[in-house]
Amino acid sequence: MRQLWMLLWALSLATLSGCGYNTLQSTDEQVKAAWSEVLNQYQRRADLVPNLVRTVQGYASHEKDVLLQVTEARSRVGSMQITPELANDPAALARFQQNQAQLGGALSRLLAVAENYPQLKSDTGFRDLQAQLEGTENRITVARNRYIKAVQEYNLSVRSFPSNLTAMAMGYQVKPNFSVENEQAISTAPTVDFGQTPAKAAPVPAQ
């Protein structure tokens, strides 16, 4: 009897492996790990915002529009309910991406304004924050690319035969992915160059 159970167990493993169950499991875990890293890097950026705003405000307190844009953008990011299920909801993922893109745009405008203030640019704290922000933006780009690839690999398993039959039986569904619209603009890290002559900042539209 024991040998029979062992034989059935071995046959079950072979069947699961052949129908793509193991692939679905591994690719799903890869997506979860990649998503966690995306969230970690976006949170790292959000954590830099308060100190960055305070530092700029100390030298350019009258740049209220830009400072307000950054603060409000960070508030929208922070108000979202970040759960594992968010990555499986196309509408929620689109809102998440839009809010993060708005924060990235607001930070870029803040750095552009800072170019008009030589004393601010020479402030050690500001320079450190800029360097941290640039590094974080680069890590965000890497994390997003890894997540996009992980989702593509997972979705391929869900759609391909015969693993699609297993996916249907086990409840695995296609996952939404980051939009490629304006992907290059969204994922481009701010340029940090302390050697150029300060440029006049573009006017900021009223909110």
Torsional class of 196: left (φ above 0), alpha (ψ -120 to 50), beta (otherwise): beta
Identify the pLDDT of residue 1.
60
Read off the pLDDT of residues 31-46 as tens digits, 9 standing for 90 and up. Answer: 999 999 999 999 999 9
Angle at 99 between CA 95 and CA 105, to 5 degrees: 145
Q: Tell me how far CA of residue 60 lies from CA of 39, 67, 192, in angstroms.
A: 31, 9, 19
pTM: 0.78
Domain that holds residue 69: 24-148+177-187
Q: How far is residue 118 from each of residues 38, 51, 114, 123, 193, measured CA to CA in Å? A: 34, 19, 8, 9, 13
- Asked whether the beta carbons of 45 and 74 are under 8 A apart, the reply is no
In a domain, 108, yes or no: yes
Q: Would residue 12 count as lying in a domain?
A: no
- pLDDT tens for the 207 residues of the chain, in order: 655 444 444 444 444 455 788 899 999 999 999 999 999 999 999 999 999 999 999 999 999 999 999 999 999 999 998 888 899 999 999 999 999 999 999 999 999 999 999 999 999 999 999 999 999 999 999 999 999 999 999 999 999 988 888 889 889 999 999 986 544 544 444 444 434 434 444 444 443
74-104 per-position pLDDT tens digit: 999 999 988 888 999 999 999 999 999 999 9
Inside any domain, residue 206: no
Going 31 to 147 to 90 to 100, the CA torsion angle's sign is: positive
What CATH number did the domain enclosing 122 receive?
1.20.1440.20
Q: Is residue 128 part of a domain?
A: yes
Burial class (CB in 10 A: 0-12, 13-18, 19+), 116: middle
Helical pair 21-59 and 2-18, crossing angle rounded to 10 deg: 50
Q: Is residue 127 part of a domain?
A: yes
- Domain-embedded: residue 118: yes
Residue 57 resides in a domain: yes
Answer yes or no: is 90 within a domain: yes
Count Cα neighbours of 156 within 13 Å in the Cβ-side half-sphere: 9
How many independent structural domains does the chain possess?
1
